[in-house]
A and B are shown apart, each in its own frame.
Chain A
Protein backbone atom coordinates (compact mmCIF):
# COMPACT_ATOMS: atom_id res chain seq x y z
CA UNK A 1 0.00 0.00 0.00
CA UNK A 2 1.29 3.36 -0.92
CA UNK A 3 2.18 5.24 2.20
CA UNK A 4 1.58 8.63 0.64
CA UNK A 5 -1.92 7.87 -0.50
CA UNK A 6 -4.26 7.29 2.32
CA UNK A 7 -7.19 5.34 0.99
CA UNK A 8 -10.03 5.49 3.41
CA UNK A 9 -11.72 2.18 3.48
CA UNK A 10 -15.44 1.77 3.69
CA UNK A 11 -17.09 4.43 5.74
CA UNK A 12 -14.03 6.67 5.65
CA UNK A 13 -14.49 7.02 1.87
CA UNK A 14 -18.09 7.86 2.46
CA UNK A 15 -17.11 10.60 4.84
CA UNK A 16 -14.70 12.03 2.31
CA UNK A 17 -17.37 11.90 -0.36
CA UNK A 18 -19.83 13.53 2.01
CA UNK A 19 -17.37 16.30 2.77
CA UNK A 20 -16.90 16.99 -0.93
CA UNK A 21 -20.65 17.48 -1.22
CA UNK A 22 -20.64 20.14 1.43
CA UNK A 23 -20.71 23.85 0.76
CA UNK A 24 -18.12 24.77 -1.91
CA UNK A 25 -18.40 28.49 -1.56
CA UNK A 26 -15.35 30.69 -2.04
CA UNK A 27 -14.16 33.97 -0.64
CA UNK A 28 -16.30 37.07 -0.81
CA UNK A 29 -16.00 39.30 -3.86
CA UNK A 30 -14.39 42.18 -2.07
CA UNK A 31 -11.48 39.95 -1.08
CA UNK A 32 -11.01 38.97 -4.72
CA UNK A 33 -10.88 42.62 -5.71
CA UNK A 34 -8.41 43.55 -3.02
CA UNK A 35 -6.05 40.66 -3.67
CA UNK A 36 -6.04 40.96 -7.44
CA UNK A 37 -5.47 44.70 -7.24
CA UNK A 38 -2.55 44.20 -4.88
CA UNK A 39 -1.04 41.64 -7.22
CA UNK A 40 -1.33 43.94 -10.22
CA UNK A 41 0.08 46.86 -8.29
CA UNK A 42 3.07 44.83 -7.16
CA UNK A 43 3.86 43.88 -10.73
CA UNK A 44 3.38 47.42 -12.00
CA UNK A 45 5.55 48.90 -9.25
CA UNK A 46 8.56 46.87 -10.32
CA UNK A 47 8.48 46.51 -14.07
CA UNK A 48 10.55 44.25 -16.14
CA UNK A 49 13.97 45.23 -14.78
CA UNK A 50 14.08 42.17 -12.64
CA UNK A 51 12.80 40.03 -15.47
CA UNK A 52 15.41 41.47 -17.79
CA UNK A 53 18.16 40.76 -15.31
CA UNK A 54 17.02 37.24 -14.77
CA UNK A 55 16.64 36.66 -18.47
CA UNK A 56 20.13 37.86 -19.32
CA UNK A 57 21.95 36.81 -16.20
CA UNK A 58 22.91 33.36 -17.39
CA UNK A 59 23.87 34.30 -20.96
CA UNK A 60 25.98 37.17 -19.69
CA UNK A 61 27.68 34.96 -17.14
CA UNK A 62 28.41 32.39 -19.81
CA UNK A 63 29.81 35.04 -22.14
CA UNK A 64 32.02 36.43 -19.39
CA UNK A 65 33.34 32.99 -18.59
CA UNK A 66 34.04 32.38 -22.26
CA UNK A 67 35.93 35.65 -22.54
CA UNK A 68 37.97 34.84 -19.47
CA UNK A 69 38.81 31.41 -20.78
CA UNK A 70 39.86 32.86 -24.13
CA UNK A 71 42.03 35.42 -22.40
CA UNK A 72 43.77 32.82 -20.30
CA UNK A 73 44.22 30.60 -23.35
CA UNK A 74 45.67 33.52 -25.29
CA UNK A 75 48.16 34.14 -22.54
CA UNK A 76 49.15 30.51 -22.32
CA UNK A 77 49.62 29.97 -26.03
CA UNK A 78 53.21 30.29 -27.23
CA UNK A 79 54.12 33.25 -29.40
CA UNK A 80 53.80 32.79 -33.10
CA UNK A 81 56.95 33.05 -35.20
CA UNK A 82 55.65 36.28 -36.76
CA UNK A 83 55.40 37.94 -33.36
CA UNK A 84 58.85 36.75 -32.41
CA UNK A 85 60.30 38.13 -35.63
CA UNK A 86 58.54 41.44 -35.06
CA UNK A 87 59.97 41.64 -31.57
CA UNK A 88 63.48 40.94 -32.83
CA UNK A 89 63.20 43.40 -35.69
CA UNK A 90 61.93 46.19 -33.46
CA UNK A 91 64.62 48.79 -32.77
CA UNK A 92 65.85 48.92 -29.22
CA UNK A 93 64.07 52.11 -28.41
CA UNK A 94 65.29 52.35 -24.79
CA UNK A 95 68.88 52.32 -26.00
CA UNK A 96 68.20 55.02 -28.52
CA UNK A 97 66.41 57.07 -25.95
CA UNK A 98 69.22 56.65 -23.47
CA UNK A 99 71.83 57.59 -26.05
CA UNK A 100 69.93 60.69 -27.08
CA UNK A 101 69.38 61.64 -23.47
CA UNK A 102 73.05 61.30 -22.71
CA UNK A 103 73.99 63.32 -25.76
CA UNK A 104 71.60 66.00 -24.65
CA UNK A 105 73.03 65.96 -21.15
CA UNK A 106 76.51 66.25 -22.59
CA UNK A 107 75.63 69.29 -24.66
CA UNK A 108 74.03 70.82 -21.62
CA UNK A 109 77.14 70.18 -19.60
CA UNK A 110 79.27 71.80 -22.27
CA UNK A 111 77.08 74.86 -22.35
CA UNK A 112 77.27 75.08 -18.59
CA UNK A 113 81.01 74.75 -18.70
CA UNK A 114 81.18 77.57 -21.19
CA UNK A 115 78.99 79.66 -18.97
CA UNK A 116 81.09 78.95 -15.92
CA UNK A 117 84.22 79.85 -17.85
CA UNK A 118 82.90 83.35 -18.10
CA UNK A 119 82.95 83.65 -14.38
CA UNK A 120 86.10 84.86 -12.77
CA UNK A 121 87.79 83.68 -9.61
CA UNK A 122 90.14 85.57 -7.33
CA UNK A 123 93.66 85.51 -8.52
CA UNK A 124 94.90 84.25 -5.21
CA UNK A 125 92.75 81.14 -5.31
CA UNK A 126 93.81 80.10 -8.79
CA UNK A 127 96.23 77.19 -8.62
CA UNK A 128 99.04 76.94 -11.06
CA UNK A 129 98.57 74.94 -14.20
CA UNK A 130 101.08 72.32 -13.14
CA UNK A 131 99.11 71.57 -10.02
CA UNK A 132 96.02 71.13 -12.06
CA UNK A 133 97.68 68.60 -14.27
CA UNK A 134 99.12 66.80 -11.28
CA UNK A 135 95.72 66.74 -9.74
CA UNK A 136 94.30 65.25 -12.92
CA UNK A 137 96.99 62.61 -12.93
CA UNK A 138 96.23 61.72 -9.33
CA UNK A 139 92.55 61.47 -10.00
CA UNK A 140 92.95 58.33 -12.12
CA UNK A 141 92.16 55.74 -9.52
CA UNK A 142 91.96 52.04 -9.92
CA UNK A 143 88.71 50.40 -10.83
CA UNK A 144 88.08 49.41 -7.26
CA UNK A 145 88.52 52.97 -6.01
CA UNK A 146 86.36 54.28 -8.76
CA UNK A 147 83.50 51.98 -7.87
CA UNK A 148 83.91 52.65 -4.21
CA UNK A 149 83.91 56.39 -4.78
CA UNK A 150 80.81 56.22 -6.86
CA UNK A 151 78.95 54.08 -4.39
CA UNK A 152 79.98 56.14 -1.40
CA UNK A 153 79.11 59.49 -2.90
CA UNK A 154 76.46 60.36 -0.29
CA UNK A 155 78.93 59.49 2.46
CA UNK A 156 81.50 61.83 0.99
CA UNK A 157 78.89 64.49 0.76
CA UNK A 158 78.02 64.00 4.38
CA UNK A 159 81.65 64.33 5.34
CA UNK A 160 81.92 67.56 3.49
CA UNK A 161 78.73 68.85 5.02
CA UNK A 162 80.28 68.25 8.40
CA UNK A 163 83.54 69.85 7.31
CA UNK A 164 81.91 73.06 6.20
CA UNK A 165 82.14 75.74 8.87
CA UNK A 166 78.95 76.29 10.71
CA UNK A 167 79.18 80.01 10.18
CA UNK A 168 78.64 79.55 6.49
CA UNK A 169 75.42 77.63 7.02
CA UNK A 170 72.60 80.11 7.29
CA UNK A 171 71.17 80.43 10.73
CA UNK A 172 67.72 81.05 9.42
CA UNK A 173 66.46 77.92 7.80
CA UNK A 174 63.49 79.69 6.30
CA UNK A 175 65.63 82.14 4.37
CA UNK A 176 67.03 79.40 2.18
CA UNK A 177 65.82 75.99 1.24
CA UNK A 178 67.04 73.03 3.23
CA UNK A 179 70.04 71.20 1.83
CA UNK A 180 68.95 68.85 -0.88
CA UNK A 181 69.45 65.17 -0.61
CA UNK A 182 72.18 63.58 -2.61
CA UNK A 183 69.65 61.85 -4.84
CA UNK A 184 68.04 65.15 -5.70
CA UNK A 185 71.21 66.77 -6.93
CA UNK A 186 70.84 67.62 -10.59
CA UNK A 187 73.05 66.01 -13.16
CA UNK A 188 76.13 67.93 -14.25
CA UNK A 189 75.61 70.39 -11.48
CA UNK A 190 79.23 71.05 -10.63
CA UNK A 191 79.73 73.92 -13.04
CA UNK A 192 76.32 75.22 -12.22
CA UNK A 193 77.08 75.08 -8.55
CA UNK A 194 80.31 76.89 -9.14
CA UNK A 195 78.52 79.52 -11.15
CA UNK A 196 75.88 79.96 -8.53
CA UNK A 197 78.60 80.07 -5.92
CA UNK A 198 80.35 82.78 -7.83
CA UNK A 199 77.10 84.65 -8.12
CA UNK A 200 76.31 84.32 -4.43
CA UNK A 201 79.59 85.09 -2.85
CA UNK A 202 78.21 86.65 0.22
CA UNK A 203 79.49 84.92 3.32
CA UNK A 204 76.75 86.50 5.37
CA UNK A 205 74.57 83.86 6.93
CA UNK A 206 71.07 83.99 5.51
CA UNK A 207 72.09 85.52 2.22
CA UNK A 208 74.34 82.81 0.97
CA UNK A 209 73.18 79.48 -0.31
CA UNK A 210 73.71 76.74 2.24
CA UNK A 211 77.27 75.53 2.10
CA UNK A 212 76.27 71.96 2.55
CA UNK A 213 74.06 72.23 -0.50
CA UNK A 214 76.89 73.59 -2.55
CA UNK A 215 79.28 70.95 -1.35
CA UNK A 216 76.86 68.19 -2.15
CA UNK A 217 76.19 69.56 -5.57
CA UNK A 218 79.86 69.84 -6.29
CA UNK A 219 80.66 66.37 -5.07
CA UNK A 220 77.74 64.57 -6.60
CA UNK A 221 78.32 65.93 -10.05
CA UNK A 222 78.49 62.85 -12.26
CA UNK A 223 80.89 64.26 -14.76
CA UNK A 224 84.09 65.30 -13.05
CA UNK A 225 85.77 65.79 -16.34
CA UNK A 226 83.28 68.45 -17.19
CA UNK A 227 83.91 70.16 -13.93
CA UNK A 228 87.60 70.02 -14.61
CA UNK A 229 87.10 71.55 -17.99
CA UNK A 230 85.06 74.23 -16.39
CA UNK A 231 87.75 74.75 -13.82
CA UNK A 232 90.37 75.04 -16.48
CA UNK A 233 88.25 77.46 -18.38
CA UNK A 234 87.63 79.41 -15.27
CA UNK A 235 91.31 79.46 -14.39
CA UNK A 236 92.38 80.49 -17.82
CA UNK A 237 89.92 83.30 -17.88
CA UNK A 238 91.33 86.73 -17.41
CA UNK A 239 90.69 87.92 -13.91
CA UNK A 240 90.51 91.48 -15.16
CA UNK A 241 87.62 90.53 -17.36
CA UNK A 242 85.44 90.16 -14.34
CA UNK A 243 85.50 93.36 -12.39
CA UNK A 244 82.56 92.25 -10.36
CA UNK A 245 84.75 89.92 -8.36
CA UNK A 246 86.49 92.87 -6.79
CA UNK A 247 83.26 94.14 -5.46
CA UNK A 248 82.33 90.96 -3.68
CA UNK A 249 84.22 88.82 -1.31
CA UNK A 250 86.19 85.91 -2.73
CA UNK A 251 84.99 82.35 -2.68
CA UNK A 252 86.12 80.36 0.33
CA UNK A 253 89.08 78.23 -0.65
CA UNK A 254 87.46 75.00 0.42
CA UNK A 255 84.57 75.65 -1.90
CA UNK A 256 86.83 76.74 -4.68
CA UNK A 257 88.84 73.58 -4.38
CA UNK A 258 85.69 71.55 -4.41
CA UNK A 259 84.38 73.34 -7.45
CA UNK A 260 87.47 73.18 -9.54
CA UNK A 261 88.96 70.03 -8.13
CA UNK A 262 92.30 71.70 -7.66
CA UNK A 263 94.75 72.07 -4.85
CA UNK A 264 93.98 75.28 -3.20
CA UNK A 265 95.84 75.65 0.05
CA UNK A 266 93.93 77.09 2.92
CA UNK A 267 96.73 79.55 3.51
CA UNK A 268 96.11 81.02 0.07
CA UNK A 269 92.78 82.27 1.17
CA UNK A 270 92.36 85.96 1.09
CA UNK A 271 92.30 87.82 4.35
CA UNK A 272 88.86 87.97 5.86
CA UNK A 273 87.84 84.82 4.06
CA UNK A 274 86.08 82.08 6.00
CA UNK A 275 88.38 79.28 6.98
CA UNK A 276 87.09 75.74 6.68
CA UNK A 277 87.08 73.57 9.75
CA UNK A 278 88.41 70.51 7.93
CA UNK A 279 91.88 70.58 6.46
CA UNK A 280 92.13 71.24 2.79
CA UNK A 281 93.98 67.98 2.35
CA UNK A 282 90.99 65.98 3.52
CA UNK A 283 88.73 67.87 1.24
CA UNK A 284 91.09 67.37 -1.64
CA UNK A 285 91.19 63.68 -0.92
CA UNK A 286 87.44 63.41 -0.75
CA UNK A 287 86.90 65.41 -3.84
CA UNK A 288 89.16 63.23 -5.93
CA UNK A 289 86.76 61.97 -8.55
CA UNK A 290 87.45 59.52 -11.35
CA UNK A 291 87.80 60.97 -14.77
CA UNK A 292 85.26 59.54 -17.11
CA UNK A 293 85.49 59.84 -20.81
CA UNK A 294 81.95 60.48 -21.92
CA UNK A 295 82.06 61.44 -25.50
CA UNK A 296 80.23 60.33 -28.58
CA UNK A 297 82.67 57.47 -29.06
CA UNK A 298 81.59 56.02 -25.75
CA UNK A 299 77.94 56.32 -26.62
CA UNK A 300 78.54 54.82 -30.02
CA UNK A 301 80.39 51.88 -28.55
CA UNK A 302 77.68 51.31 -26.00
CA UNK A 303 75.00 51.55 -28.66
CA UNK A 304 76.88 48.95 -30.68
CA UNK A 305 76.94 46.64 -27.68
CA UNK A 306 73.26 47.28 -27.18
CA UNK A 307 72.41 46.35 -30.73
CA UNK A 308 74.55 43.20 -30.54
CA UNK A 309 72.76 42.18 -27.40
CA UNK A 310 69.38 42.81 -28.96
CA UNK A 311 70.37 40.64 -31.89
CA UNK A 312 71.35 37.97 -29.39
CA UNK A 313 74.96 38.05 -30.49
CA UNK A 314 76.17 37.75 -26.97
CA UNK A 315 79.69 36.68 -27.80
CA UNK A 316 80.34 39.65 -30.02
CA UNK A 317 78.68 41.96 -27.53
CA UNK A 318 80.94 40.71 -24.76
CA UNK A 319 83.96 41.08 -26.97
CA UNK A 320 82.90 44.66 -27.74
CA UNK A 321 82.46 45.30 -24.07
CA UNK A 322 85.94 44.02 -23.34
CA UNK A 323 87.33 46.29 -26.02
CA UNK A 324 85.35 49.17 -24.65
CA UNK A 325 86.61 48.44 -21.17
CA UNK A 326 90.20 48.38 -22.39
CA UNK A 327 89.78 51.64 -24.29
CA UNK A 328 87.80 53.42 -21.61
CA UNK A 329 89.18 52.01 -18.40
CA UNK A 330 87.91 55.00 -16.48
CA UNK A 331 84.31 54.48 -17.49
CA UNK A 332 82.43 53.59 -14.30
CA UNK A 333 81.65 49.94 -13.97
CA UNK A 334 78.48 50.84 -12.13
CA UNK A 335 77.13 52.45 -15.26
CA UNK A 336 77.85 49.29 -17.15
CA UNK A 337 76.20 47.28 -14.42
CA UNK A 338 73.13 49.45 -14.62
CA UNK A 339 73.00 49.18 -18.33
CA UNK A 340 73.71 45.52 -18.87
CA UNK A 341 73.41 43.87 -15.50
CA UNK A 342 76.25 42.96 -13.24
CA UNK A 343 76.30 39.28 -14.08
CA UNK A 344 76.58 39.90 -17.78
CA UNK A 345 79.30 42.53 -17.44
CA UNK A 346 81.29 40.40 -15.01
CA UNK A 347 81.01 37.46 -17.34
CA UNK A 348 82.17 39.52 -20.28
CA UNK A 349 85.10 41.04 -18.45
CA UNK A 350 86.05 37.78 -16.80
CA UNK A 351 86.24 36.11 -20.18
CA UNK A 352 88.78 38.64 -21.31
CA UNK A 353 90.88 39.17 -18.22
CA UNK A 354 91.07 36.71 -15.36
CA UNK A 355 91.79 39.48 -12.90
CA UNK A 356 88.61 41.35 -13.71
CA UNK A 357 86.35 39.67 -11.11
CA UNK A 358 88.76 40.59 -8.37
CA UNK A 359 88.67 44.18 -9.50
CA UNK A 360 84.94 44.37 -9.70
CA UNK A 361 84.32 42.81 -6.36
Chain B
Protein backbone atom coordinates (compact mmCIF):
# COMPACT_ATOMS: atom_id res chain seq x y z
CA UNK B 1 0.00 0.00 0.00
CA UNK B 2 2.95 2.29 0.53
CA UNK B 3 3.67 2.28 -3.19
CA UNK B 4 0.19 3.29 -4.13
CA UNK B 5 -0.50 6.72 -5.51
CA UNK B 6 -2.18 9.42 -3.50
CA UNK B 7 -5.33 9.09 -5.58
CA UNK B 8 -5.54 5.34 -5.01
CA UNK B 9 -5.08 5.83 -1.30
CA UNK B 10 -7.80 8.45 -1.22
CA UNK B 11 -10.14 6.11 -3.07
CA UNK B 12 -9.37 3.40 -0.57
CA UNK B 13 -10.12 5.76 2.25
CA UNK B 14 -13.36 6.75 0.55
CA UNK B 15 -14.26 3.08 0.55
CA UNK B 16 -13.61 2.83 4.26
CA UNK B 17 -9.90 2.09 4.65
CA UNK B 18 -8.69 4.27 7.51
CA UNK B 19 -5.12 3.06 7.10
CA UNK B 20 -5.00 4.60 3.65
CA UNK B 21 -5.82 7.94 5.15
CA UNK B 22 -3.06 7.56 7.70
CA UNK B 23 -0.59 7.00 4.91
CA UNK B 24 -1.87 10.01 3.00
CA UNK B 25 -1.61 12.11 6.08
CA UNK B 26 1.93 10.97 6.66
CA UNK B 27 2.91 11.95 3.15
CA UNK B 28 1.43 15.41 3.08
CA UNK B 29 1.23 16.67 6.61
CA UNK B 30 4.68 18.32 6.56
CA UNK B 31 4.37 20.32 3.33
CA UNK B 32 0.85 21.35 4.15
CA UNK B 33 1.72 22.44 7.63
CA UNK B 34 4.74 24.43 6.44
CA UNK B 35 2.71 25.99 3.68
CA UNK B 36 0.18 27.23 6.19
CA UNK B 37 2.76 28.14 8.80
CA UNK B 38 4.73 30.31 6.39
CA UNK B 39 1.69 31.78 4.71
CA UNK B 40 -0.17 32.76 7.85
CA UNK B 41 0.89 34.49 10.98
CA UNK B 42 0.20 33.01 14.38
CA UNK B 43 0.62 29.44 15.59
CA UNK B 44 -3.01 29.12 16.70
CA UNK B 45 -4.37 30.09 13.32
CA UNK B 46 -1.99 27.71 11.58
CA UNK B 47 -3.01 24.79 13.77
CA UNK B 48 -6.68 25.60 13.36
CA UNK B 49 -6.52 25.81 9.60
CA UNK B 50 -4.33 22.74 9.31
CA UNK B 51 -6.84 20.69 11.25
CA UNK B 52 -9.72 22.22 9.35
CA UNK B 53 -8.21 21.33 5.99
CA UNK B 54 -7.82 17.68 6.89
CA UNK B 55 -11.27 17.48 8.40
CA UNK B 56 -12.76 18.94 5.26
CA UNK B 57 -10.95 16.31 3.29
CA UNK B 58 -12.43 13.65 5.54
CA UNK B 59 -15.92 15.03 5.17
CA UNK B 60 -15.63 15.34 1.40
CA UNK B 61 -14.25 11.88 0.83
CA UNK B 62 -17.55 10.58 -0.64
CA UNK B 63 -17.45 13.22 -3.35
CA UNK B 64 -13.80 12.68 -4.17
CA UNK B 65 -13.14 11.81 -7.78
CA UNK B 66 -9.58 11.27 -8.97
CA UNK B 67 -9.87 13.85 -11.73
CA UNK B 68 -6.91 15.86 -10.44
CA UNK B 69 -3.71 15.20 -8.59
CA UNK B 70 -4.44 14.64 -4.94
CA UNK B 71 -1.76 17.09 -3.86
CA UNK B 72 -3.41 19.82 -5.93
CA UNK B 73 -6.76 18.93 -4.40
CA UNK B 74 -5.37 19.09 -0.87
CA UNK B 75 -3.56 22.36 -1.36
CA UNK B 76 -6.55 23.91 -3.06
CA UNK B 77 -8.52 23.29 0.10
CA UNK B 78 -5.72 24.81 2.15
CA UNK B 79 -5.39 27.79 -0.17
CA UNK B 80 -9.11 28.53 -0.04
CA UNK B 81 -9.16 28.26 3.73
CA UNK B 82 -6.18 30.56 3.99
CA UNK B 83 -7.79 33.12 1.72
CA UNK B 84 -10.92 32.98 3.84
CA UNK B 85 -8.75 33.56 6.86
CA UNK B 86 -7.18 36.61 5.25
CA UNK B 87 -10.57 37.94 4.26
CA UNK B 88 -11.75 37.63 7.83
CA UNK B 89 -8.71 39.60 8.93
CA UNK B 90 -9.32 42.11 6.12
CA UNK B 91 -5.78 41.56 5.11
CA UNK B 92 -5.11 42.45 1.47
CA UNK B 93 -4.38 39.26 -0.37
CA UNK B 94 -2.27 40.98 -2.98
CA UNK B 95 -1.86 44.06 -5.06
CA UNK B 96 0.51 46.87 -5.54
CA UNK B 97 0.05 48.33 -2.10
CA UNK B 98 1.29 45.15 -0.46
CA UNK B 99 4.14 44.98 -2.89
CA UNK B 100 5.17 48.54 -2.05
CA UNK B 101 5.03 47.78 1.65
CA UNK B 102 7.16 44.73 1.12
CA UNK B 103 9.63 46.72 -0.90
CA UNK B 104 9.97 49.15 1.94
CA UNK B 105 10.61 46.31 4.35
CA UNK B 106 13.22 44.82 2.07
CA UNK B 107 14.99 48.13 1.80
CA UNK B 108 15.52 48.08 5.53
CA UNK B 109 16.91 44.53 5.44
CA UNK B 110 19.57 45.38 2.91
CA UNK B 111 21.75 46.78 5.59
CA UNK B 112 22.51 43.25 7.02
CA UNK B 113 26.12 41.95 6.77
CA UNK B 114 26.87 39.67 3.81
CA UNK B 115 27.84 36.01 4.43
CA UNK B 116 29.43 33.75 1.91
CA UNK B 117 27.95 30.54 3.29
CA UNK B 118 24.65 29.33 1.90
CA UNK B 119 24.07 26.97 4.80
CA UNK B 120 24.40 29.60 7.31
CA UNK B 121 21.69 29.43 9.86
CA UNK B 122 21.34 33.11 9.79
CA UNK B 123 20.77 33.02 6.09
CA UNK B 124 17.92 30.60 6.46
CA UNK B 125 16.36 32.62 9.19
CA UNK B 126 16.71 35.65 7.01
CA UNK B 127 15.01 33.90 4.17
CA UNK B 128 12.04 33.00 6.30
CA UNK B 129 11.87 36.50 7.62
CA UNK B 130 11.93 37.88 4.11
CA UNK B 131 9.23 35.46 3.13
CA UNK B 132 6.94 36.87 5.74
CA UNK B 133 7.43 40.33 4.31
CA UNK B 134 6.21 39.31 0.86
CA UNK B 135 2.66 40.15 -0.21
CA UNK B 136 0.24 37.32 0.42
CA UNK B 137 -0.29 36.53 -3.27
CA UNK B 138 3.43 36.32 -3.92
CA UNK B 139 4.04 34.37 -0.74
CA UNK B 140 1.24 32.00 -1.58
CA UNK B 141 2.62 31.49 -5.06
CA UNK B 142 6.12 30.87 -3.78
CA UNK B 143 4.94 28.43 -1.10
CA UNK B 144 2.67 26.55 -3.48
CA UNK B 145 5.65 26.20 -5.74
CA UNK B 146 8.14 25.16 -3.08
CA UNK B 147 6.02 23.18 -0.62
CA UNK B 148 3.30 21.68 -2.80
CA UNK B 149 5.45 21.39 -5.89
CA UNK B 150 2.68 22.68 -8.10
CA UNK B 151 3.26 23.90 -11.62
CA UNK B 152 2.41 27.34 -12.91
CA UNK B 153 -0.83 26.20 -14.48
CA UNK B 154 -1.96 24.41 -11.35
CA UNK B 155 -1.20 27.47 -9.27
CA UNK B 156 -3.05 29.63 -11.77
CA UNK B 157 -6.08 27.36 -11.57
CA UNK B 158 -5.95 27.34 -7.84
CA UNK B 159 -5.61 31.11 -7.56
CA UNK B 160 -8.16 31.69 -10.30
CA UNK B 161 -5.83 33.80 -12.36
CA UNK B 162 -3.76 33.49 -15.48
CA UNK B 163 -0.44 31.76 -15.83
CA UNK B 164 1.23 35.07 -16.62
CA UNK B 165 0.02 36.52 -13.37
CA UNK B 166 1.47 33.54 -11.52
CA UNK B 167 4.76 34.00 -13.34
CA UNK B 168 4.79 37.65 -12.43
CA UNK B 169 4.07 36.98 -8.80
CA UNK B 170 6.76 34.36 -8.62
CA UNK B 171 9.25 36.61 -10.36
CA UNK B 172 8.53 39.46 -7.96
CA UNK B 173 8.78 37.14 -4.96
CA UNK B 174 12.13 35.74 -6.01
CA UNK B 175 13.42 39.15 -6.88
CA UNK B 176 12.58 40.48 -3.45
CA UNK B 177 14.02 37.46 -1.68
CA UNK B 178 17.13 37.78 -3.75
CA UNK B 179 17.41 41.42 -2.93
CA UNK B 180 17.02 40.68 0.76
CA UNK B 181 19.58 37.91 0.70
CA UNK B 182 22.13 39.86 -1.28
CA UNK B 183 24.25 40.03 1.79
CA UNK B 184 24.32 36.23 2.04
CA UNK B 185 24.32 35.29 -1.64
CA UNK B 186 26.91 37.10 -3.66
Judge whether B33 and A27 touch: CB under 8 Å.
yes
Rounded to whole Å, the gap between the CB of B24 and the closest CB of chain A is 9
Judge whether A39 and B25 touch: CB under 8 Å.
yes
The residues of B that contact A48 with a CB separation of less than 8 Å are 15-16
Rounded to whole Å, the gap between the CB of B12 and the closest CB of chain A is 10
Given known contacts A18-B118, A51-B15, A11 and B153 CB-to-CB distance under 8 angstroms: no
A93 to B15, CA, bound (A): 59
A19 at the A/B interface (Cβ < 8 Å)? yes
Instruction: Specify the chain B residue showing the minimal Cβ separation from A47.
Output: B16
Rounded to whole Å, the gap between the CB of B180 and the closest CB of chain A is 10
Judge whether A26 and B25 touch: CB under 8 Å.
no
User: How many B residues touch A, CB cutoff 8 Å?
Assistant: 42
Main secondary structure, interface of B, reads helix
A273 at the A/B interface (Cβ < 8 Å)? no
CB < 8 Å: which of B54, B163, B185 contacts A35? B54
Given known contacts A3-B153, A6-B167, A31-B47, A22 and B22 CB-to-CB distance under 8 angstroms: no
B92 at the A/B interface (Cβ < 8 Å)? no
The residues of B that contact A35 with a CB separation of less than 8 Å are 25, 51, 54-55, 58
Given known contacts A35-B51, A51-B15, A12 and B178 CB-to-CB distance under 8 angstroms: yes
A241 at the A/B interface (Cβ < 8 Å)? no
- Supply 16 further A-B pairs (C-beta < 8 A) apart from A24-B30, A36-B25: A3-B163, A5-B151, A6-B151, A20-B146, A22-B128, A23-B124, A24-B34, A26-B29, A27-B33, A35-B51, A35-B54, A39-B21, A39-B25, A43-B17, A43-B18, A50-B16
B binding-site residues for A, Cβ under 8 Å: 13, 15-18, 21-22, 25, 29-30, 33-34, 47, 50-51, 54-55, 58-59, 61-62, 118-119, 123-124, 127-128, 131, 145-146, 151-154, 163, 167, 170, 174, 177-178, 181, 185
